């Protein structure tokens, strides 16, 4: 059944808490791991041997920014397969360059480069902080990694006054990524060492979190600019979510919540249930922790091997019996730009999840996978919407076709409709988030009871858990 507004609001507020605590992919992975551990999941390390039994709850992280969690099914994966939801932890952002600190015309600034398809103008005149991970190299000790989140306004990218750019409102704002994006950190002292000043700022922030290090021991960092304004509910009746990084932390939160919900009423199913959150989707997924890398196939392969070490072709058989939902936010029709949408494919916020299709395989959905997800939506009282990009416009893509091509797993691409995608602050509907959790939870609650009639033929009876 469709969620009540009270339940939808509760889900939305929990999503905002998740997003506020996840300014980067590193923090999103940490937040996910924390919630998994609270639900009884234990961490596995890739360098260790794995022993798995039905009902085991485990998770694996790679590079601190991607995470895969699974609940081992009662049946071997080559018989019952995997039921999975995939999403990504990264969002378009401005990342610091390695030698970031610079002094220019009396200002202390930071050099940045764009990551992903960022909507640049939205980053101007915002109160910005800094977040990511810091690597510490104390002499004689192993390298240490610490997460940092400076959640107060220390940076700003000021716009140029209209008096100096008279045609900005008629010809548009054109930003040179090299010259116009470095944020101002402060007023520079005449003889200051800017790199040292940045490291002292990071060391002081880590000390706030109880980590005492010397600024000189900070060997390197992966840092990005972040909006310090927290997410909130908006609209006349608070029917909207206004927050950064809805694309795609909303999908991560929905998948995680759905899995944990399913476990509360069905701790073990025949299929092995799995969520996979990758980094680097916004720049093409080509990394060791991205969807184009081997992370998922290696983890699932080891799960199969741990359960069926002597079964021939077990991995390929498991993938042939599996199903993946690629969850990534979708485009809602914009009331001010309706001509940018394909007629009869104009998703509305507040009307539930969207199935995404593309004839050229930018999305992995086909008739079978779409029908399966539609069934899950209808089970919770919602008819899914459909999205196809206009034939005269290019189509974006997701982890869906990448993962399907690497594994051969049947995949559907879905997402909740939103506006302001890739802006520093995005917009979605409160009710849609709860409906997506319900639909994904329905998939995770599907029990496959396998009755072996012979070596050549197997019949499967599927019972749906409401």
The CATH number for 212's domain is 2.30.250.10
Are 404 and 274 found together in one domain?
yes
Residue 233 lies in a domain: no
Among candidate residues 245, 306, 305, 307, the one with its CA nearest the CA of residue 277: 245
Pick the last residue of a domain from 197, 227, 257: 227
Q: What is the pLDDT of residues 297-353, one digit of tens each?
A: 999 999 999 999 999 899 999 999 999 999 999 999 999 999 999 999 999 999 999
Is the pLDDT confidence value at 459 over 50? Answer: no
Render pLDDT for 113-141 as a digit per residue (tens, 0 to 9): 999 999 999 999 999 999 999 999 987 78
* One domain for residues 392 and 278: yes
Query: Using the 8-state DSSP alphabet, how is residue 183 labeled?
Result: P
3-state secondary structure of 173: coil
- Same domain assignment for residues 297 and 219: no
> How many distinct structural domains can be found in the chain?
2
Q: What is the DSSP letter of 392?
A: T
DSSP-derived secondary structure for 81-107: -EEEEEEE----EEEEEEEEEEEETTE
* Statement to judge: residues 309 and 436 lie in one domain: yes
CATH of the domain at 385: 3.40.630.10
Domain containing 131 equals 93-227
Question: CA 307, CA 320: separation in Å to the nearest integer?
Answer: 17
Q: Are residues 275 and 398 in the same domain?
A: yes
- Whether 397 is in a domain gets the answer yes
Residue 232 covered by a domain: no
* pTM for this model (two decimals): 0.93
Residues 124, 157 within the same domain:
yes
Do both 118 and 198 map to the same domain?
yes
For position 448, what pLDDT does the model report? Answer: 40
Q: Both 367 and 439 in a single domain?
A: yes
**Is 335 found in the same domain as 319?**
yes
State the number of CA atoms in the 13 A half-sphere of 354 facing the CB.
Answer: 27
∠ CA 265-247-368, nearest 5°, is 60
Question: Which is nearest to 277 in space by CA: 254, 304, 260, 261?
Answer: 254
Q: Are residues 312 and 445 in the same domain?
A: yes
**154 within some domain:** yes
Q: Is it the case that residue 463 has pLDDT exceeding 90?
A: no
Burial of 197 (0-12, 13-18, 19+ CB in 10 A): middle
In a domain, 236, yes or no: no
How far from the centroid of its chain's Cα atoms is residue 36's Cα?
Answer: 16
Sign of the CA dihedral running 404, 407, 408, 409: negative
In a shared domain, residues 294 and 409:
yes
Q: Compute how many other C-beta atoms are within 10 angstroms of the C-beta atom of residue 264.
A: 9
pLDDT at 192: 83
Whether 263 is in a domain gets the answer: yes
Whether residues 184 and 314 fall in one domain: no
């Amino acid at each position: 059944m469709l969620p009540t507004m009270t339940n939808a609001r509760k889900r939305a507020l929990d999503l905002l808490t998740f997003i506020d605590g996840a300014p980067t992919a590193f923090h999103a992975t940490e937040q996910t791991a924390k919630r998994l551990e609270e639900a009884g999941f234990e961490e596995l390390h890739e360098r260790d041997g794995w022993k798995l039994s039905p009902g085991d709850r485990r998770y694996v992280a790679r590079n601190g920014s991607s995470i895969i969690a699974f609940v081992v099914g009662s049946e071997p994966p080559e018989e019952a397969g995997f039921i999975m939801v995939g999403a990504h932890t990264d969002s378009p952002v401005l990342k610091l360059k390695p030698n970031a600190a610079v002094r220019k015309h009396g200002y202390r600034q930071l050099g940045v480069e764009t990551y992903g398809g960022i909507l640049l103008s939205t980053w101007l005149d915002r109160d910005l902080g800094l977040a990511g991970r810091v690597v510490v190299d104390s002499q004689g000790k192993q390298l240490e990694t610490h997460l940092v989140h400076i959640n107060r306004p220390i940076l700003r990218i000021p716009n140029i006054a209209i008096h100096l750019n008279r045609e900005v409102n008629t010809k548009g704002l054109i930003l040179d990524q090299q010259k116009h994006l470095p944020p101002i950190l402060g007023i520079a002292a005449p003889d200051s060492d800017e790199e040292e000043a940045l490291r002292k700022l990071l060391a002081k922030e880590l000390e706030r979190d109880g980590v005492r290090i010397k600024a000189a021991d900070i060997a390197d960092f992966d840092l990005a600019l972040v909006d310090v304004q927290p997410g909130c509910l908006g609209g006349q009746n608070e029917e909207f979510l206004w927050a950064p990084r809805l694309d795609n932390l909303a999908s991560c939160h929905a998948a995680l919540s759905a899995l944990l919900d399913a476990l509360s009423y069905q701790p073990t199913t025949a299929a092995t249930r799995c969520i996979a959150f990758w980094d680097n989707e916004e720049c093409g997924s080509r990394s060791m922790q991205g969807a184009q890398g081997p992370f998922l196939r290696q983890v699932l392969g080891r799960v199969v091997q741990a359960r069926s070490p002597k079964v021939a072709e077990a991995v390929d058989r498991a993938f042939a019996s599996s199903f993946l939902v690629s969850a990534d936010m979708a485009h809602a029709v914009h009331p001010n730009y309706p001509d940018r949408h394909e007629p009869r494919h104009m998703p509305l916020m507040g009307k539930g999840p969207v199935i995404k299709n593309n004839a050229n395989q930018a999305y992995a959905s086909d008739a079978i996978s779409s029908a399966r997800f539609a069934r899950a939506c209808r089970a919770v009282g919602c008819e899914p919407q459909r999205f196809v990009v206009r034939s005269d416009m290019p189509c974006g893509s997701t982890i869906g076709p990448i993962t399907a091509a690497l594994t051969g797993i049947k995949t559907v691409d879905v997402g909740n409709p939103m506006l302001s995608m890739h802006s520093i602050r995005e917009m979605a509907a409160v009710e849609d988030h709860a409906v997506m959790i319900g639909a994904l939870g329905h998939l995770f609650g599907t029990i496959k009871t396998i009755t072996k009639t012979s070596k050549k033929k197997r019949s499967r009876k599927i019972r749906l858990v409401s």
